[in-house]
Amino acid sequence: MKAGADIAADMESTGGRQDTKEVILDAAEKLFAEKTYSAVSLRELTQAAGVNLAAVNYHFGSKDALLIALFRRGAIELNRARARLLREAEERAGGGTPPVREIVAALVLPAIRYSFTSTRLALYNQFVAFARGDGPAEAREMLDKEVGHLQRFALSLARALPHLPQHEVYWRLHFAMGVQHSLYTDMKRLETLSGGLCQLDDLDAVAARVIDYVTAGLEAPYTAKG
């Protein structure tokens, strides 16, 4: 009876225990980040999760649907945290415009914090990089819809940087996302490059570094282009 699959797909809290689904999601998050969606087989995945091979298809419907569910879980938490920090910064500014540095902090801190402390969001950002172009079309569309959440930051930054044309704000926000991605995709290169000097141990220090760098880039003098 596969009624469970459809029900569980629609509503998050069925009567049955939720353990298996989460165990699978956690294992998938780890493996998809280490390798690639299509490089990880369901046999490898279910074995790492300690569940039966058929469990993925039973609980999610397909491997593709698992990827989508995985992304949804991570995106919801990350965007919720970012939105909360941005709202708090705006309240602190008393209805005015928060300084660039605080907007940047709202964007950067959740990604760093959650990615290394929470088991649920661990490696989420690294996974996003792989999902693009690899996963099913539906997953890619979800990534694009994520843009809506970034729009809030674009607007806030545009108010804080009134001398910049709109498109320049978008470009610099885009670069800021690239800096964040570098924390999850190429750390090995940095460790090699620095001879082990640079590592992801002190998260607060790393966060401060990223915020300094991104803030400076956003506040860079504007020289008209093209």
Complete DSSP assignment for 53-103: TTHHHHHHSSHHHHHHHHHHHHHHHHHHHHHHHHHHHHHHTTTSPPPHHHH
What is the Cα–Cα distance from 107 to 210, expressed in whole angstroms?
Answer: 11
Does the footprint of DNA cover residue 138 (CB under 7 A)?
A: no
16 binds, among a second copy, DNA, none (CB under 5 to 8 A by kind): DNA
15 binds, among DNA, a second copy, none (CB under 5 to 8 A by kind): DNA
Max Cα–Cα distance, the chain, nearest Å: 64
Least Cβ distance, residue 14 to a second copy (angstroms): 33
Does the footprint of a second copy cover residue 181 (CB under 8 A)?
A: yes
What is the Cα–Cα distance from 170 to 100, expressed in whole angstroms?
Answer: 14
Does the footprint of DNA cover residue 12 (CB under 7 A)?
A: no
Task: Name the token pair of 189.
Answer: 């290169």
Within positions 22 to 41, which residues make up the interface with DNA, using CB under 7 A? 40-41
Within positions 74 to 133, which residues make up the interface with a second copy, using CB under 8 A? 129-130, 132-133
- In 3D space, the residue among 225, 78, 83, 207 whose CA is nearest the CA of residue 164 turns out to be 225
Does the footprint of a second copy cover residue 193 (CB under 8 A)?
A: yes
204 binds, among a second copy, DNA, none (CB under 5 to 8 A by kind): a second copy
For Cα atoms 70, 133, 60, give the angle at the middle one, nearest 5 degrees: 30
Task: Decide: helix, strand or coil at residue 179.
Answer: helix
Task: Decide: helix, strand or coil at residue 215.
Answer: helix
Does the footprint of a second copy cover residue 134 (CB under 8 A)?
A: yes
Within positions 158 to 177, which residues make up the interface with DNA, using CB under 7 A? none
Does the footprint of a second copy cover residue 34 (CB under 8 A)?
A: yes
CB nearer a second copy, residue 91 or residue 141: 141
Does the footprint of a second copy cover residue 35 (CB under 8 A)?
A: yes
Q: Which residues bind DNA (CB under 7 A)?
A: 1-4, 7-8, 14-17, 19-20, 40-44, 51-59, 62-64
